[in-house]
Structure 1
Amino acid sequence: MKVLLLHSLYAPHIGGGAEIVVRQLAEGLQARGCEVVVLATGPRAGLNPEHLDGLLVYRAGLSNFYWHFTQAKPNRLLRLGWHLRDRYNRSMRQHVRDVIAHEEPHIVLCNNLTGWSISAWDEISAAGLPIVQVLHDLYLLCPKDTMFNNGRSCERQCGMCAAFRRPHAAASAQVAAVIGVSRFVLERITAEGYFAQASQHVVHNCIDPRASISALPRPHHSGLLRFGYIGTLSENKGLSWLIEQFQALSINATLEIAGRGKLDYEAEIKGRADPSKVRFVGYQPSERFMQGIDVLVIPSIWAEPFGLVAVEGCAQHLPIIATNMGGLPEIIQDNLNGLLCTPADPDSLGRAMLKLYLDSDLRQRLSEQARSSVAAFLNTERMLDQYQTILSSTLNGRSANDEPDFTDHFPPQVEPARD
């Protein structure tokens, strides 16, 4: 089976967890005997092939006002123009056409469509190839892919998003199979009429357990407690909320924030932080960063489609504080491997941090249970099994009713000890 894997970005251009998982898929399927070709957007004009770790990667120059993988935030008018063109970017179809003609894949595994637009579906269908679409975000409902506006997560599509996405649900009828990286993201998008003709599956993202094989349960200790955040620095990630709640606590603790974001937003949140309590450490490898903290905080105020960082933290035996939104509750269970809070009750984040600061026994128990609680998410071979079987059955033309159940299930529930 020859697979064309289409995605918005590809390493070394890493925007978030989706890029990590897509690279795992590409390399993993190739190692299993599939022939994999990657097609992603890039900053240079034209179609630029290269070899990366044994894979053929095509980077297509993005035909839009700017390439979206940049730290500088364009002005509002330019962003609006970008999204207008991205509703259906006809110019990007040529790159898809050229790669399909040259490589002759059997099937196309589409991931994030930002930059490509749904025009990619039409070009793939025109070539007579089956499409498997993976849902990593909410792009099909919202041009910004987050459904987050004015400091809040949107409960429904606004008028502008609905207008930008009006033909998309009908166009999705040409997709043969759809995979959600969480039950949340699959149900959220299909509820709007998408993928009515496709077989539907949930395959949770996984990470390679070898990345954290040296991690040991956290020892008891007293004194300074180190809270940490790692990820994109952006408003929807809840960093302002985290900094405000942390600085309101009178505790012997520090907060380290790792990651990068738009330059103007970075400057804004750094201006709100007390440097004696909050330290910005820039981009850090996640394994190394997590080994230097005691509690990982994921204060997202939008509905995260999954939250791979939560899996990474649990694999490193870290207790997690996370919001009870989106796909995060499919990973973090209250009083089993972490504590859940909600932006609807702003002080719930501060209370969770204070609770873990005061109760070292609870912190230790959550740490000891963390890695086993995400065992299902540390099995990349199982994830690859599911993808490979879905690809094979789709290529063989089985109907949705003939499909075996590939739905990824929650890890076994462990009854949490009572405080």
Structure 2
Amino acid sequence: MKILAFSSLYPPFYKGGYEIAAKSFIDNLRKRGHQVTVVSSKYGVTQDNENDPDILRNLHYLNFNHLNESFYIKFPWICSILSSIRRFILTIFNVIIAGKIIRRYDPDILFLWDMREISYHTVFSKVKKKIPIVIMVEDEVFNWHTINNRFFSTFSLSKDYIRFNHIFCVSKVMKDYAILAGYDINRISVVPNGISNDWLLKKITIKKPSGRLLYVGRLSKIKGIHNIIKAFNFLHKNYESDIFLTITGSGDQEYVTYLKALITKFNLMKIVRFQEKLSYQKLKDVYTQHDLLIVSSIYREPFGLILIEAMSRGIPVIASNIGGPSEIIKDQITGLLYAPNDPKDLARKIQHLLTDHALYNRIRSNAIAEVKNHYLIENVSNQIEQTLIGLLKDGRK
């Protein structure tokens, strides 16, 4: 198959698990003999850092990068007008560029990933012939009704405007959004993100946790990191052994300032540290240097690739019982779930797992087996490949 894949960002430039998952799927499809060309934005590109002929970084990135999350909150209408005008103008350029690429490559399939920052209009306004179009939904794209769309709208996934041939959703949460948006349930399938086999810990031995906890991800209020710090305050007072927390990632600086103030308020400066965002491969070592991963989101997280990564390295996960993580974690079997936005419950679950060594090691073994059985990229890619082949066969009838 000749596949043209569109994504706002593509590694080595990425903001989260979305882009990493896209590369994993695409690499696997290429290994299976399919010709996949990626079309992405110019974000992060210089003359020296891109030499792959199968990656076209020609599109304009639409986001207002220099305005942080806090500025948007304080001045929403100003940001809305400026951002919408900018998106409208750049979308016109993207439509022209994408049209030329689609005509030149003449693909069998158009595979869309996260396109909000290059615009879905980029593709749909230029598809003249009947090319099957599929989308991988890893975020609330069907529920994307923000202030940015009120002026010069550049993004709409109304079922009356776009008719996808198939929708892949990374979780049941995302599938529910697609159904509520009016899409045909028979054209929707749940395909979780996957990781490569080399992430799996080859040998697992009995381990006594030493109290080293880890958070990995974007530093944003909806990620609930403040609840981890509050939970640490409870633990610091009541837990007899040493505990340490590493917060790895980057994000909204105003929120980071708030987190640091909270750490100072609770006198946790010696046991909580920040670490800059790391490359995907370096995270392997970071996971194995810690005892627990905390996923503290207070919103309906679509999936949570970091859970799969940690589980594959034999690191138990404690996650808030909401959204995608609650589908991945089987409570008391492959991890622990706690009540969202409840730092006291999180503290209890942390203490429980650090002190019950039998449960801790049982979860480690179960988590690795769960990843091996359900989340290896080789297995989940097969479902995508078979669906794409079926679409082409249907189109030739």
- Higher mean displacement: 294-303 or 384-393: 384-393
Contact 1:205–1:377, Cα closer than 8 Å, also in 2? no
SS of aligned partner of 1:216: coil
1:169 aligns with 2:158: yes
Kindly indicate whether residue 230 of structure 2 is the aligned counterpart of residue 240 of structure 1.
no
TM-score, normalised via structure 1 length: 0.81
Q: Structure 1, unaligned stretches of length 5 or more?
A: 145-159, 403-419
d(CA) in 2 for partners of 1:181 and 1:192?
Answer: 16
Q: Counterpart of 1:179? A: 168
Question: What's the CA shift string for 1:315-355, capped at 9, x where partnerless?
Answer: 11111100111111221011001110122544221211121
Kept in 1: contact 2:119–2:155 (CA 8 A): no
Matched AA of 2:33: G
Corresponding position of 2:246: 256
Deviation of 1:104 (Å): 1.7
TM-fit CA distance, 1:110: 0.3
Structure 1 SS opposite 2:340:
coil
Q: In the TM superposition, what whole-angstrom CA distance separates every residue of 1:145-170 from its partner, at most 9, and x where no partner exists?
A: xxxxxxxxxxxxxxx59967995323
| CA deviation after TM superposition for structure 1 residue 121, in Å | 4.3
Residue 142 of structure 2 contacts residue 181 of structure 2 at CA under 8 Å; is this kept in 1?
Answer: no
Contact 1:181 1:204 in 2 (8 A): yes
Distance 1:319 1:63 in 2: 37
Q: What is the aligned counterpart of 2:204 among 206, 212, 216?
A: 216
CA distance in 2, matches of 1:256, 1:143: 35
Amino acid at match of 2:208: H
Pairing partner for 2:261 from 264, 271, 274: 271
Give the alignment's Cα RMSD to 1 decimal: 3.1
1:227 is matched with: 213
Name the residue aligned to 2:190.
202
State how far apart, in whole Å, the 2-side matches of 1:269 and 1:180 are: 33
| Structural mapping, 1:12-411, within 5 Å | 12-43=12-43, 50-52=50-52, 56-62=54-60, 64=62, 66=64, 68=65, 73=69, 75-76=71-72, 77=75, 79-81=79-81, 84=84, 89-142=91-144, 168-171=157-160, 173-193=162-182, 195-196=183-184, 199-214=187-202, 216-220=204-208, 224-249=210-235, 250=237, 251=239, 252-273=242-263, 274-284=268-278, 285-343=282-340, 345-397=342-394
1:301–1:343 contact (8 Å) kept in structure 2: yes
2:310–2:317 Cα contact (<8 Å) kept: yes
> Aligned letter for 1:319?
P
Q: Percent identity?
A: 24
Q: Decide whether aligned partners of structure 1 residues 74 and 84 sit closer, same or farther in structure 2, where only a CA change above 3 A counts.
A: farther
**Residues 362 and 161 (structure 1 numbering): CA distance in 2 closer, same or farther, change over 3 Å?**
farther
Q: 1:213 and 1:71 mapped to 2: Cα distance? A: 41
Change in Cα spacing, 1:314 to 1:43, as seen in structure 2 (3 Å) is closer
Describe the superposition over 1:391-414 as per-residue Cα deviations: whole angstroms up to 9, x where unpaired.
Answer: 111122369xx9xxxxxxxxxxxx
Letter in 1 for 2:276: G
Residue 387 and residue 92 in structure 1: after superposition, are their counterparts in 2 closer, same or farther (change >3 A)?
Answer: same
CA contact (8 A) 2:13 2:44 kept: no
- 1:97-148 deviation line (CA, Å, top 9, x unaligned): 121122221110001121122313423533432200110101331257xxxx
Pair 1:352–1:211, CA change in 2 (3 A)? same
Q: In the superposition, relative to structure 1, how do residues 83 and 202 fare at CA in structure 2: closer, same or farther (>3 Å)?
A: farther
CA distance in structure 1 between the partners assigned to 2:83 and 2:143 by the alignment: 13
TM-score by length of 2: 0.85
The answer to whether the 8 Å contact 2:158/2:181 transfers is yes
- Tell me, in whole angstroms, the C-alpha distance in 2 between the residues paired with 1:246 and 1:210: 33
One-letter identity of the residue aligned with 1:58: L
**Tell me, which stretches of 5 or more residues in structure 2 are unaligned?**
none
Question: Whose helix proportion is higher, 1 or 2?
Answer: 2
